[in-house]
């Protein structure tokens, strides 16, 4: 509810803040992509009290970020109003100047910022998507997994399952054994049929020339998306691939952008066809809205990386958003541990406007067994 000039502000000072971490194991066995293996996903949560509500935010990172938030950043956050997310964002960034703002620091900021926005919406008794304003009521989702640890049957089964569930785009990991990647892509195409958008993610595994050769071969299978063919730090190589690769295949990156300036570097270098951003890394809701503004300025589509239940409202608000990543591990974790977790239906994810804030709450009893 807008306040008239001179009217007293809603009382919404942050009086308490808690952080915690939950380590959630992979489904059956360790998983891998082109450059990493993992056996669990760690969610770091923030709960803050303000104005009679509890704001909830989260990120995916190492459990040590919970200590950073609770021991070092909580004192900076307390006393601010949740009505002023930008003030909290700026204060936390300043507090981390000598600690390191990227990486763990950016994840910590992101979880705090999401909790502040969640609390702000709850204080105003609206959903976050209502508070931000909607460019659209739902956002297209693409199934993401297809791990390099899967055998061909598991790969086919997962991708075909998403198509059965109504998703119209799916992404598989490539890059661990480049000599097998074209066969995996071919199997994936067979599994999903000719009409489903097929996407790939190399997680920076390829060399530049290797990536170009595979980009051309993938494009012949109708692949439309090659994410991080080389490391996203190799911005000049990404730009070279974007210039030399097949016209129908988008080069994408941005999941390791920790700040608006990181995102701007990819855009300035003309390194991507679609900019990816992750609100759990790039500065929360505030950072994601900045990513959208950058995409508007650079005439660039925006794609949300992972954390689908968090990104739904943000992608509906972001004018440049084209899709969000419905990532297998995060869908499992969010469904298991978060009340209000969102499920893709008819190929889209839609935030629930009837639930205040993000509409998400940690299931304390279910989460407790995974507490770090
Ligand atoms: Mg990726």
The mean pLDDT of the chain is 97
What pLDDT score was predicted for residue 320?
98
What pLDDT score was predicted for residue 10?
76
In this predicted structure, the answer to whether residue 2 has a pLDDT above a threshold of 60 is: no
What is the Cα–Cα distance from 268 to 182, expressed in whole angstroms? 32
Q: Tell how far the Cα of 193 is from the centroid of ligand 1, in angstroms.
A: 23
Domains recognised in the chain with CATH numbers: 14-126 (3.30.390.10), 130-357 (3.20.20.120)
Q: What is the rounded average pLDDT of the residues 21-30?
A: 95
Q: Give residue 11's pLDDT band: very low, low, confident or very high (50, 70, 90).
A: confident
User: Which ranges in the chain belong to alpha helices (H)?
Assistant: 64-67, 74-77, 85-95, 104-123, 128-132, 152-164, 178-192, 208-220, 235-244, 260-268, 284-298, 308-317, 328-337, 364-368
What is the Cα–Cα distance from 7 to 10, expressed in whole angstroms? 9
Q: Quick check: 199 and 326 in contact, CB under 8 A?
A: no
C-alpha distances out from residue 343 to 97, 135, 162, 337, Å: 38, 20, 12, 14
Q: Tell how far the Cα of 288 is from the centroid of ligand 1, in angstroms.
A: 17
Tens-place pLDDT, residues 337-363: 999 999 999 999 999 999 999 999 999
Q: Tell how far the Cα of 227 is from the centroid of ligand 1, in angstroms.
A: 6
Q: Tell how far the Cα of 31 is from the centroid of ligand 1, in angstroms.
A: 14
In this predicted structure, the answer to whether residue 1 has a pLDDT above a threshold of 50 is: no
Share of residues in the chain with pLDDT > 70 (%): 98
Q: Which of 3-7, 122-126, 186-190, 368-372 has the lowest mean pLDDT?
A: 3-7
Place of tokens 């503004």: 293
Cβ density class 265-302: b for 16+ within 10 Å, e for less: ebbeeebbbbbbbbbbbbbbbbbbbbbbbbbeebebbb
Q: What is the rounded average pLDDT of the residues 180-194?
A: 98
Instruction: List, as one string, the DSSP characters of 187-240.
Output: HHHHHH-TTSEEEEE-TTBS-HHHHHHHHHHHHHTTEEEEE-SB-TT-HHHHHH
In this predicted structure, the answer to whether residue 32 has a pLDDT above a threshold of 50 is: yes
Q: Tell how far the Cα of 254 is from the centroid of ligand 1, in angstroms.
A: 8
Q: Give residue 6's pLDDT band: very low, low, confident or very high (50, 70, 90).
A: low
Q: Tell how far the Cα of 68 is from the centroid of ligand 1, in angstroms.
A: 26
* Among candidate residues 41, 235, 250, the one with its CA nearest the CA of residue 142: 250
What is the Cα–Cα distance from 351 to 285, expressed in whole angstroms? 15
Helix or strand or coil: residue 270?
coil
Q: Tell how far the Cα of 279 is from the centroid of ligand 1, in angstroms.
A: 14
Q: What is the rounded average pLDDT of the residues 297-325?
A: 98
* Among candidate residues 264, 199, 210, 217, the one with its CA nearest the CA of residue 237: 210
What is the Cα–Cα distance from 268 to 339, expressed in whole angstroms? 40
pTM reported for the whole predicted model: 0.97
Q: Quick check: 279 and 310 in contact, CB under 8 A?
A: yes
Helix or strand or coil: residue 282?
coil
Tens-place pLDDT, residues 163-172: 999 999 999 9
What is the Cα–Cα distance from 91 to 266, expressed in whole angstroms? 26
Q: Tell how far the Cα of 56 is from the centroid of ligand 1, in angstroms.
A: 25
Q: Give residue 7's pLDDT band: very low, low, confident or very high (50, 70, 90).
A: low
Helix or strand or coil: residue 62?
coil
Tens-place pLDDT, residues 97-134: 999 999 999 999 999 999 999 999 999 999 999 999 99
Q: Tell how far the Cα of 332 is from the centroid of ligand 1, in angstroms.
A: 17
What is the Cα–Cα distance from 3 to 12, expressed in whole angstroms? 14
Q: Tell how far the Cα of 13 is from the centroid of ligand 1, in angstroms.
A: 37
Residue 40's φ and ψ, nearest 5 degrees, are -160, 160
Q: Tell how far the Cα of 74 is from the centroid of ligand 1, in angstroms.
A: 31
Q: Tell how far the Cα of 278 is from the centroid of ligand 1, in angstroms.
A: 10
What pLDDT score was predicted for residue 28?
84
What pLDDT score was predicted for residue 250?
98
Q: Tell how far the Cα of 49 is from the centroid of ligand 1, in angstroms.
A: 34
Tens-place pLDDT, residues 36-69: 999 999 999 999 999 999 999 999 999 999 999 9
Tens-place pLDDT, residues 236-274: 999 999 999 999 999 999 999 999 999 999 999 999 999
């Amino acid at each position: 509810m807008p306040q008239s000039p001179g009217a007293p502000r809603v009382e919404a000072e942050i009086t308490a803040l808690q952080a915690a971490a939950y380590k959630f194991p992979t489904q059956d066995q360790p998983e891998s992509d082109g450059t990493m293996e993992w056996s669990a996903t760690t969610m770091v949560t923030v709960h803050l009290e303000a104005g009679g509500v509890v704001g909830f935010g989260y990120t995916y990172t190492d459990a040590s970020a919970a200590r950073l938030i609770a021991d070092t950043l909580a004192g900076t956050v307390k006393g601010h109003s949740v009505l002023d997310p930008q003030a909290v964002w700026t204060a936390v960034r300043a507090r981390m100047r000598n600690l390191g703002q990227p990486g763990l620091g950016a994840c910590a900021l992101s979880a705090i910022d999401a909790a502040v926005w969640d609390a702000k919406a709850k204080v105003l008794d609206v959903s976050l998507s209502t508070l931000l304003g909607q460019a659209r009521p739902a956002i297209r989702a693409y199934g993401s997994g297809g791990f390099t640890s899967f055998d061909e049957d598991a790969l086919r089964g997962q991708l075909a399952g998403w198509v059965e569930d109504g998703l119209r785009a799916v992404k598989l990991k490539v890059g661990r054994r480049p000599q097998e990647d074209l066969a995996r892509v071919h199997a994936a195409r067979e599994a999903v049929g000719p009409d489903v958008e097929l996407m790939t993610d190399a997680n920076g595994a390829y060399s530049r020339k290797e990536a170009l050769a595979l980009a051309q071969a993938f494009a012949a299978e109708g692949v439309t998306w090659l994410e991080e063919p080389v490391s996203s730090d190799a911005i000049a190589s990404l730009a070279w691939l974007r210039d030399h690769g097949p016209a129908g295949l988008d080069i994408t990156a941005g999941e390791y952008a920790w700040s608006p300036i990181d995102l701007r570097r990819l855009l300035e270098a003309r390194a991507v066809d679609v900019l990816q951003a992750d609100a759990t890394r790039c500065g929360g809701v505030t950072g994601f809205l900045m990513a959208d503004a950058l995409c508007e300025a650079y005439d660039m589509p925006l794609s949300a990386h992972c954390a689908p239940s968090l990104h739904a409202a943000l992608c509906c608000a972001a004018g440049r958003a084209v899709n969000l990543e419905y990532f297998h591990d995060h869908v499992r974790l969010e469904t298991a541990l978060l009340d209000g977790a969102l499920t893709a239906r008819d190929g889209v994810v839609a935030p629930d406007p009837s639930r205040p804030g993000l509409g998400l709450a940690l299931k304390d009893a279910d989460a407790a067994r995974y507490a770090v």
